[in-house]
Amino acid sequence: MKVALFVPCYVEQFYPEVGIATLELLEKYGVQVEYPLEQTCCGQPMANSGYQRFGDDASRVFMENFGDYEYVVAPSGSCTLHVKEHVLGESEVKVYELCEFLTDILKVEDVGVSFPFKVGIHASCHGLRGLRLAKSSEIVGDDFNKPRTLLEKVKDIQLVELQRKDECCGFGGTFAVSEEAISVRMGMDRLADHEDSGVEVITSADMSCLMHLQGLSKRNQHPVKIMHIAQILNGAKPS
Amino acid sequence: MAKTITHAEAAEAFLKDADRTQWHDETLWHVRTKRDTAAQKLPEWEQLRENASKVKEYVLSHLDELLVTFEKNAKANGIEVLWAKDAAEHNQHVYEILQKHSVQNIVKSKSILTEECGLNHFLEDKGFDVVDTDLGERIIQFNKQVPSHIVMPAIHLKKKEIGDIFHTHLGTQQGADDPNYLTEAARNHLREKFINANAAITGVNFGIVESGGFVVCTNEGNADMGTHLADVHIACMGIEKLIPRKADLGVYLRLLARSATGQSITNYSSHFHRPRSGKKMYLILVDNGRTEQLGREHFRNSLKCIRCGACMNTCPIYRRSSGFSYNATVPGPIGSILSPGMDLKKHSTLPFASTLCGSCSDVCPVKINIHEQLYQWRQVVTEAGHDSAAKKWAMKIGGKVMGSPSLYDFLGKSARSALKLTPKKLVYSRVNTWGKSRDLPEPPKESFKEWYRKNRKP
């Protein structure tokens, strides 16, 4: 199976290790991964700020790079959601966030790695309520959680229950800057929930939420570590 | 004209009191968890939401015919029906009715519509004694405030603060904050107001087309107390409040209280069909921008709202900034998609007071796609030019960069190098809002693309 890897712009620039882990992970499961070199960004930063029209060029670049593939996989729920809702249009390209691709398409059963740490899952909102990677706490129905299902296959991991299992971290793209005070407060509240539960490593399917939480924990010299779920599934350890 | 305060500015001011913020957040989160418990008890919850949404869809698609039938049936019952195109006309109708019946003392049960129309101030300016009889509303009326929440209007006040307000206005003991004691004082105070009232004003939760009657939901029975004692009942109703049949009511009553407070039903669901003998009953049907909203393709679904307040209780921003930060009659997520339709410029920052987390849409009992409408309002706000020029240019440049792979590569590399070379003090200067309370990520030695070229691509 061949897939095109979409690495969100901020991951490409600031978190190459997350892109590498995603690539290696997919290769480990026998997928032929291609990374179109002319890719840039899905256009979400402009669109969510009210300037969808200024994201048109980014959308065009996205389609030029990915329009001919059957499958596109990205280590981000948020960017995947934006592409599906606002970029693809009539195109038949199938875009998947990494976790759902692993559980739904590759049907991964054995991950073959160990991670002997207490881990808290941060449910990124766009993955949760946009892509339905898990059942949100508001909805009544059968429980499911794709990122958690994958992490439960990791040996020696201790998944920790939170007080508020799917409250937003307050990142929200340009919201993090335009509503700085409340964004910071929301992030600090999330960190406290994880830390009160004894979490050593916070993980998520979205690096953008984690960038915000990491920025706060570093500034406040908290010991908690931050890792993308691809890194844990690919066998990395906290540094 | 004074500059309108932005949501971000109001939120920042509220957040300065960290303890109060935590208290406010936890108080409302508690209501959200009560809602969850109540909803989880109904396995058919999602089907109920779907039904409620579909019935309202029918109502919005047939509003013209349904309103005419409703009016006909209500009149046949002996209700006098009046129409108001806007707040001013609504208030004028109320005023003329009060004059006609020589009313001086008025008791009101909760009505967000009359808040929207500014009825209390209008009547007080004309010398009427207007008493809000919902306990929360009476508290904020004493305190000269507007509701900070549509279901729990005084939720922003702590017990002790309410004790102080009652001490000043009702003569309760100084420092007393026992809820039973304070409620007893309010009860005695309101009993007298009920007995002396000549007119009762209520809102309307549901207008039932087939019967020409309407339903008012309260937890305190104050609507009944008012309307049973006064000679004149004036019910004020937004034109979107219709449901076609009596049979539809069960769907909404089951959803409303569970969503609002976690109760299985509001304590009083009072049905009004006709005036008692010798009494008068008026129903004012108010548009005030609703027809316009109905005509907006992306936003018409907002009119499905049954005013349960669940989107406020769940909203992580509302909980940490309070209702007043929205500076609108209806605060929170639903208010942020309704208010821009009333005054786009004044409310232009509200669609941005969200991370688009989507919790509001998942909790909404009538399945309004609130977070998607926030996204759409953002587009409308910037196209109308109600946004900062700096942000517009930043977005325009951002769009250009992302539209050019070579420029993106070049600028990305430059930014990473600059970040590495620039002294920390300069990186975290005042213009870096991100960095006020957060560290930036460490710039890596190479980007993913650079790594890929070396390690995968020949």
Nearest by CB to A58, from B402, B412, B443: name it: B402
* Residue A114 · residue A154 · CB < 8 Å: yes
Same domain for B284 and B406, yes or no, is no
Same domain for B281 and B428, yes or no, is no
Nearest CA in chain A to B432: A177
Q: Which residues of A touch B396 (CB under 8 A)?
A: 51, 54
Reported confidence tier of residue B425, pLDDT bands at 50, 70, 90: confident
Nearest Cα to Cα of residue B263 among B26, B34, B30, B33: B34
Give the three-state DSSP class for A34.
strand
Domain contains B389: no
pLDDT for B458 equals: 60
Domain boundary among B288, B318, B345: B288
CA distance B57 to B390: 40
- Render pLDDT for B426-458 as a digit per residue (tens, 0 to 9): 888 888 899 999 999 999 999 999 999 999 966
The answer, for A212 touching chain B at a CB cutoff of 8 Å, is: yes
Domain boundary among B271, B288, B305: B288
DSSP structure class, residue A82: H
Q: What residue type is assigned to position A160 of the chain?
A: V
Same domain for B418 and B281, yes or no, is no
Nearest-10 crossing angle of helices B63-77, B45-61: 90
Domain boundary among B254, B269, B288: B288
Strand pairing report for B268-272 and B213-218: antiparallel
pLDDT for B324 equals: 97
Q: How many CB pairs under 8 A join A and B?
A: 217
Q: How far is CA A70 from CA A35, A98, B95, in A?
A: 14, 15, 67
Q: What is the 3-state secondary structure (H, E, C) of B146-173?
A: CCCCCCCCCCCCCHHHHHHHHHHHHCCC
CA distance B198 to B100: 12
CA distance B447 to chain A (A): 5
Contact B45 A177 (CB under 8 A): no
Domain contains B348: no
Reported confidence tier of residue B372, pLDDT bands at 50, 70, 90: very high
Nearest CA in chain A to B22: A189
- Render pLDDT for A126-161 as a digit per residue (tens, 0 to 9): 999 999 999 999 999 999 999 999 999 999 999 999
CATH at residue B143: 3.40.50.10420
Tokens of B34: 């009560």
Domain contains B70: yes
Nearest CA in chain B to A137: B36
Domain contains B337: no
The answer, for B375 touching chain A at a CB cutoff of 8 Å, is: yes
Domain contains B298: no
Chain centroid to CA B390: 31
For the cut 90, the answer to whether the pLDDT of residue A4 exceeds it is yes
Token pair 């976790």 is at which residue? Answer: A99
Domain contains B280: yes
CA distance A155 to chain B (A): 28
Domain contains B370: no
Share of chain B above pLDDT 90, in %: 94
Reported confidence tier of residue B299, pLDDT bands at 50, 70, 90: very high
- Render pLDDT for A164-179 as a digit per residue (tens, 0 to 9): 999 999 999 999 999 9
Tokens of B221: 């029975």
Averaged pLDDT of chain A: 97
Q: Which of residues 391-450 of B touch A (CB under 8 A)?
A: 391-392, 395-396, 398-405, 408, 412, 415-416, 433-434, 436-444, 446-450
- Render pLDDT for B166-211 as a digit per residue (tens, 0 to 9): 999 999 999 999 999 999 999 999 999 999 999 999 999 999 999 9
Nearest CA in chain B to A166: B359
Nearest CA in chain B to A46: B395
Same domain for B408 and B283, yes or no, is no
Q: Which of residues 2-61 of A touch B (CB under 8 A)?
A: 7, 9, 11-17, 19-20, 23, 35, 37-41, 43, 45-58, 60-61
pLDDT for B421 equals: 86
Contact B12 A181 (CB under 8 A): yes
Nearest by CB to B405, from A61, A178, A216: name it: A61
Domain contains B350: no
The answer, for A182 touching chain B at a CB cutoff of 8 Å, is: yes
Measured in degrees and rounded to the nearest 5, phi and psi for residue B272 equal: -120, 125
| Residue B325: its H or E element | none
Q: Which of residues 24-53 of B touch A (CB under 8 A)?
A: 25, 29, 36, 39-40, 42-43, 45-46
CA distance A20 to chain B (A): 7
Q: How far is CA A210 from CA A172, A205, B317, B404, B438, in A?
A: 12, 9, 19, 27, 12
pLDDT for B250 equals: 97
Contact A172 B439 (CB under 8 A): no
CA distance A72 to A94: 6
* Residue B171 domain boundaries: 42-288
Considering its fold, how many domains does chain B have in total? Answer: 2
For the cut 70, the answer to whether the pLDDT of residue B1 exceeds it is no
pLDDT for B2 equals: 56
- Render pLDDT for B225-263 as a digit per residue (tens, 0 to 9): 999 999 999 999 999 999 999 999 999 999 999 999 999
Reported confidence tier of residue B330, pLDDT bands at 50, 70, 90: very high
* Structural domains of chain A, with CATH: 2-105 (3.40.50), 118-233 (3.40.50)
